[in-house]
Amino acid sequence: MRTAEVKRRFLAHFEERGHTVVASAPLPADDPTLLFVNAGMVPFKPYMLGQVSAPYKRATSVQKCIRTLDIDEVGKTTRHGTFFQMNGNFSFGDYFKEDAIRFAWDLLTRSQDAGGYGLDPQRLWATVYLDDDEAYGLWRDVIGVPEERIVRRGMADNYWSMGVPGPCGPCSEIFYDRGPAYGREGGPEVDEDRYMEVWNLVFMQYERGEGTGKADFPILGELPAKNIDTGMGLERMAAILQGVDNLYEIDETRPILNAAARLTGKIYGEHSGQSAAESHPDDVRLRVVADHVRTALMLISDGVTPANEGRGYVLRRILRRSVRAMRLLGYDAPVLPELLPVARDAMAPSYPEVARDFERISSYAYGEEEAFRTTLRQGSQILDQALDTTLRAGEGGSLAASTAFQLHDTYGFPIDLTVEIAGERGLDVDVDGFRELMSEQKRRAKADSQAKKTGHADTGLFRSVLDANGPTDWLAYETLETDSTVLAIFRDGGPVNAARDGEIVQVVLDRTPFYAESGGQDSDAGEITAPSVTAEVLDVQRPVKGLVVHQVRVTGGELGVGQPVHARVDHEWRTGARQAHSGTHVVHAALREVLGPAALQSGSYNRPGYLRLDFAWRGALSPETRSEVEEAANVAVRRDLPVDVRYMPLPEARDIGALALFGETYDENVRVVEIGGAWSRELCGGTHVAHSSQIGSVAITGESSVGAGHRRVEAVTGLEGFRYLARERDLVSQIAEQLNAPRDELPARITALVERAKKAEREAQRLRDEITAGQAGKLAEDARDIDGIAYIATTTDGDARGLASRIRDGVPGGRPAVIAVVGTSGFVVTTNPAARERGLSAADLVRSALEGKGGGSPEMAQGKAPADAAAALDRVAALIPSRLG
């Protein structure tokens, strides 16, 4: 039975029993305590806590889940996976233990012809919590399970919570006996490989507090109503019904594993004589690839994109682990173009959207692999040399934090990969030191931004203002001016009663017309005035939801708490902001019109007259394509398309095709901005023009890469667009005048000039090479002897690498030599074969002379040119005696 059919039967079974079928929530969890949905009940958590009234008494779902704690264990056993699907049925104050047990038993044991799973009742076991006599009696007396197949277990096994404060309660698990081939008799207490857990029935009665582990937490009290939360592992049930051993062999995973085995020439299970706990490394790596490729497909499908933090980092990590696992299996070519389509075909029967959105999904995945292959080329050699040096030094067997940080910061080498590779060489990594260096860097980077956003004020102070006065009456859509009252003033992180001329402070008003920076749109500019005070508005933010805070510079008089003021947005500023934000939507629609639906926005920024838009795409846009996009945008401007704003429930917005920014969370009711109806339809909270013609013009000024699989378009609008085109016109006129050529002949004239300049540069380089060759021979003759090593050190205004190579090649026969050259291109050290035989490595000398910076091979290495060239050259000389073998 295919996994998609297992899923369909589950939902149909519970729908027939009065349950509302609820679609899976996206994997990114709308919960501050979680990165991803990690259990089937997570989307229903507010109902179980009584925070929100459930819109139904009974529900059923098949929820996509991610558990990141098991990433390092994936593949080592056949039970760990990052992505899995949890079938669940839920009751919110309706039925409880008896019906939950009966519903589960009926589906498991009913014949397949009648729509069930057809499991043999004699092979099913039940466990209950230690003192749950009610559940024990139901299994024994209502279902008829013999007492010898009902097991009481403790809190670690049969008491459920999400691992964080929230709903909890005793549970009852159902196990399936896979037979003596899988282990010992005696039930799940004896062997959970043979007795596989297939269903967990949680009797949600209590709320737990903070704590650690599965049992160390307080019970805060009973929930408002008794609830049922059950979870049946879809992959586990599919494995049983398909007659395979584990989740890696079911129809949604095995095709990926088989494709990876075919590409690498490996035979999965060839070494199956070993126990599961001692899987052959090849089998482990094939399982890692199968799990991670499928997980990446599902994460990108739900809007997660590779990044250096949070959810994006988890995705980046699993993509890179799958690529590296294939390299360790001997496959060096690009991996994902071969395997991701296989994952798509395996998952599409259950999730058609992965096929529908595959162009977008694959663009992110392939771009990330391409970037990682570059990272591996640049970083692996440096890491290997650092590990070699650490092993030779024998200093506790730990790679220095500074080296790990340099690999991460300079080459993009992720710390987990550094740890993994070091572990394979028997070395530790100073991870604590690495994290401290990372934290220090982040603290420096965030200092200026934090000052801009909140003036260093504690958000708790802002929240107290919100609690005392309610949310700001925000009127940015309705008006550009309001009569307001000052509710609070903050300076240097604390509250003050007044602000005087020249001071920069944060001001909270009871109502405001100012747009607060959000959705990519910069905040409004303007002023706050009263008869005795003027203040310039520099920035507007929402440090806590519902509260608008203005950063202002008092330019005259004194501004005080409780003072009536007049808040006024700069009309020209808002006009330019509207043009730019509507222009962003127009450029996005134009990109999709020219490139196709995969060119989805992944980020944006706009201010008056300027916009930039990041979108998913691999490869630079040609000049012709840029012109097409620009023309499509300006055609939309000329057509004077109406700009309409509507409010509607989020599901309705999705149904009509409104585009949302992936990774963002939205309220239940959303604001939909349409330009020309369906031509441009997006969820957006920004300010816009009334008709597209009011944008004025769109001129694309640049297009560039902002990361693997992402491009950035920059453009100017309105008056800035006209000014840009005027400057371009004037520039062309000046060039035409200087070259004394008609405009249409300029490209050919400039090409000819460039070719002439290149030819002259080649001739100049030839002459420099001849001079360098003469220098090389003389320098080799004058070499300094250090313990039998010829050491030649010099500086040059030319090519340091070229000069170093020529000197090395000019050293007479067989004499060990080290050459160090400081030039405009950097600090270069090279060694000849005789020197390397005596234990000297150019990479080691460069890194030691430059205090850990730089890298290369034992033959030639390079670093940044030092401020004191003579001192650096002397350090190399001092290092040579200690490095001789």
CA 711/CA 18 separation, integer angstroms? 48
Lowest-confidence segment of 41-55, 375-389, 750-764 by average pLDDT: 375-389
Would you say residue 386 has pLDDT above 80? Answer: no
Lowest-confidence segment of 420-434, 542-556, 652-666 by average pLDDT: 652-666
**Residue 688 marked ligand-binding:** yes
Tell me the pLDDT band of 446, cut-offs 50, 70 and 90: low
Tell me the pLDDT band of 867, cut-offs 50, 70 and 90: confident
**Residue 585 marked ligand-binding:** yes
Would you say residue 333 has pLDDT above 60? Answer: yes
Other Cβ atoms less than 10 A from the Cβ of 418: the count is 23
Q: Helix, strand, coil % (nearest 5) of the chain?
A: 45, 25, 30
Would you say residue 662 has pLDDT above 70? Answer: no
| pLDDT per residue as tens digits for the range 62-92 | 999 998 766 767 767 666 688 999 999 999 9
Would you say residue 772 has pLDDT above 50? Answer: yes
| The predicted structure's pLDDT at residue 669 | 84
**Residue 80 marked ligand-binding:** no
Would you say residue 183 has pLDDT above 50? Answer: yes
Would you say residue 853 has pLDDT above 80? Answer: no
Would you say residue 719 has pLDDT above 60? Answer: yes
This model's pTM is above 0.75? no
Average confidence (pLDDT) over 856-863: 87
Would you say residue 657 has pLDDT above 90? Answer: no
Tell me the pLDDT band of 560, cut-offs 50, 70 and 90: very high
| The predicted structure's pLDDT at residue 559 | 95
Would you say residue 274 has pLDDT above 50? Answer: no
Tell me the pLDDT band of 173, cut-offs 50, 70 and 90: very high
Lowest-confidence segment of 309-313, 640-644, 715-719 by average pLDDT: 309-313
Tell me the pLDDT band of 597, cut-offs 50, 70 and 90: confident
- Higher local confidence (pLDDT), 728 or 420: 728
| The predicted structure's pLDDT at residue 412 | 67
Other Cβ atoms less than 10 A from the Cβ of 407: the count is 25
| The predicted structure's pLDDT at residue 276 | 47
| The predicted structure's pLDDT at residue 773 | 61
Average confidence (pLDDT) over 553-582: 96
Query: What is the percentage of the chain residues whose pLDDT exceeds 90?
Result: 48
- Output phi, psi for 580, to 5 deg: -70, -40
- Higher local confidence (pLDDT), 855 or 556: 556
CA 668/CA 598 separation, integer angstroms? 26
Average confidence (pLDDT) over 344-360: 91
Sheet of strand 610-616, all strands in order from the earlier edge strand to the far edge: 601-607, 610-616, 710-717, 698-705
| The predicted structure's pLDDT at residue 275 | 47
Lowest-confidence segment of 159-173, 324-338, 493-507, 672-686 by average pLDDT: 159-173
**Residue 168 marked ligand-binding:** no
Sign of the alpha-carbon torsion through 195, 200, 201, 206: positive
| The predicted structure's pLDDT at residue 40 | 87
Match 């947005």 to its residue by tokens.
Answer: 569
Would you say residue 303 has pLDDT above 60? Answer: yes
CA 35/CA 665 separation, integer angstroms? 13
Would you say residue 96 has pLDDT above 90? Answer: yes
Would you say residue 172 has pLDDT above 60? Answer: yes
Would you say residue 273 has pLDDT above 70? Answer: no
Is 606 in contact with 580 (CB distance < 8 Å)? yes
Averaged confidence pLDDT in the chain: 87
Query: What is the percentage of the chain residues whose pLDDT exceeds 70?
Result: 92
Tell me the pLDDT band of 540, cut-offs 50, 70 and 90: very high
* DSSP letter for each residue of 236-275: HHHHHHHT-SSGGGSTTTHHHHHHHHHHHT--TTTTTTS-
Judge residue 231's burial from the number of C-beta atoms within 10 Å of its C-beta, 0-12 exposed, 13-18 middle, 19 or more buried.
buried
Is 509 in contact with 473 (CB distance < 8 Å)? no
Average confidence (pLDDT) over 180-206: 90
| The predicted structure's pLDDT at residue 671 | 93
Would you say residue 578 has pLDDT above 90? Answer: yes
| The predicted structure's pLDDT at residue 307 | 78
Nearest to 172 by CA among 209, 131, 211, 207: 131
Would you say residue 449 has pLDDT above 60? Answer: no
Is 148 in contact with 186 (CB distance < 8 Å)? no
| pLDDT per residue as tens digits for the range 600-629 | 888 899 999 999 999 888 778 999 999 999
Would you say residue 30 has pLDDT above 80? Answer: no
Tell me the pLDDT band of 165, cut-offs 50, 70 and 90: confident
Judge residue 8's burial from the number of C-beta atoms within 10 Å of its C-beta, 0-12 exposed, 13-18 middle, 19 or more buried.
middle
709: left (phi over 0), alpha (psi -120 to 50) or beta: left
Would you say residue 729 has pLDDT above 50? Answer: yes
